[in-house]
Amino acid sequence: MTVGIVVLAAGASTRLGEPKQLITLNGVTLLRRAALTALATLHRPVAVVLGATNHLFRGELNGLDVAIVENKDWADGMGASIRCGMEHLLSIQPSLDAALLMVCDQPFVSVGLLNALVEKHRATTETIIACDYGESVGVPALFPKRVFFDLLQLRGSEGAKKLIVSQSYSTISFPDGAFDIDTPTDVMKLRQAFSNSMRS
């Protein structure tokens, strides 16, 4: 089974006032951490979608086996980034069986979580596998080939969640996926939570 991964990292972080992509945890930026986590699954290809001020972020991906995809329509919203990433994945590997979508601002995503999504997909090959945050569902999420067309039709601010809840789906628990990084206070809380998780 061939699974490709799209790391969505094209946002402008307007509410935060600084690029989320460049926030560091233990000296590693969120962008590079997400790419390294994706690569550690051994699933290929891995495409990283950049948009706003992408020239600032490319250096964070130096030396990594990822395809950097520039989304010129990044301001149109998440739908445009998903579409851009999927188009690139399929241009590299047209025979993909599934695509795993993730974002760069969920620092608690682990290799184990991504692999668990893929393993659950192996047992239910036609079903979307999403993460359950407790109050909601969302990415990281794995999409089977049958919904690739729907991913390519997403527009504007439409994200993966709209497609997930419109279909039959299964979930894996990931309560830390609900952690938002929208303000400097959120960044401070994140660093504290991440530090605590490393000690536990």
**Tokens in use for 186?**
């959120």
Any idea of the CA torsion for 103, 109, 111, 117, to the nearest 10 degrees?
A: -80
pTM to 2 decimals? 0.93
The band of 13, judged by pLDDT with boundaries at 50, 70 and 90, is: low
CATH number of the domain residue 42 falls in: 3.90.550.10
* Total domain count, the chain: 1
Q: How far is CA 59 from CA 36, 54, 185, in A?
A: 14, 10, 27
The band of 199, judged by pLDDT with boundaries at 50, 70 and 90, is: low
Instruction: Return mean pLDDT, the chain.
Output: 90
Supply the range of the domain harboring residue 156: 3-199
Q: How far is CA 162 from CA 4, 7, 66, 165, 187, in A?
A: 21, 18, 27, 6, 27
Residues 6+ away with beta carbon under 8 Å from 162: 154
> Which sign does the torsion angle of CA 58, 63, 64, 65 carry?
positive
61 touches 31 (CB < 8 A) = yes
pLDDT in tens, 65-101: 999 999 988 888 899 999 999 999 999 999 999 999 9
pLDDT in tens, 40-64: 999 999 999 998 677 889 999 999 9
> Which sign does the torsion angle of CA 90, 39, 81, 70 carry?
negative
The band of 31, judged by pLDDT with boundaries at 50, 70 and 90, is: very high
